[in-house]
Amino acid sequence: MMPPQSNQWFALMIGNSRQHWALFTGEHLSRTWHLPLEDSPGSLGKAYSDLPCWGASVGAQSIRQVHPNAVELTLADIPIPQMYSTLGIDRALALWGALQIYGAPVCVVDGGTALTLTLADDRGAFAGGVILPGVGLMARALADYTAALPHVTLSPEPPPRWGTSTPAAIASGLYYGTAAILQAYLVAFFEAYPQGRVIVTGGDRPFLGELFKTFLDADRWRADDHLAFWGIRALRSPTAKIEVNS
């Protein structure tokens, strides 16, 4: 890694299971890391541990426990009208990032530990959302809370609809069940907002993207792994020209 430059800074989003770091050079996203919760910025390289940092955390771990000089963002910093007071900061930052890049109306589908849908209406105001167990969490729950069902790791490829073994039956339920849930919600989204866009993000984004291909036209949705980082960038530099990185 090259030595840090004077205009470099970190965006940090601490999730339920990992730390998500982005190194920016000015407004340009240079690199990302996804680290275990217990790691420190020292694992990114000693020279980088003193860079400025902006971010937020969804759990009990404050970002200042990870980066003592970080600017910790709260829901009050995000200028989206009509948000409720307990809305997750990760969902709000992702929605704010989506609004900056893709405009309104928009539905952010975030496939993490939880599977969430978060909406902004055609005025850019918060318009509600949905929280479901994530695909991985559903798979673990079946293995952990039943006597004989195994843990199944899903492939993005569609499994047979009617499983002829226990693992195949679980794979079918996770795949087609998740697809049916998402299709029902997104049909309702497009009925309410015909010009809306769906943006999918999160660790399960590759899997969810394959599901979307089965029922959504390609021009209705887009994958973007960096929505929360775009949201943090926009709050740090509200007058900056927005640049979408590939």
Beta-bridged to residue 57, according to DSSP, are: 14
Catalytic entry in 77, 90, 204, 217: 90
Residue 90 annotated among the catalytic residues of the structure: yes
Grouping H, G, I as helix, E, B as strand and the rest as coil, residue 204 is coil
Residues with active-site annotation? 90
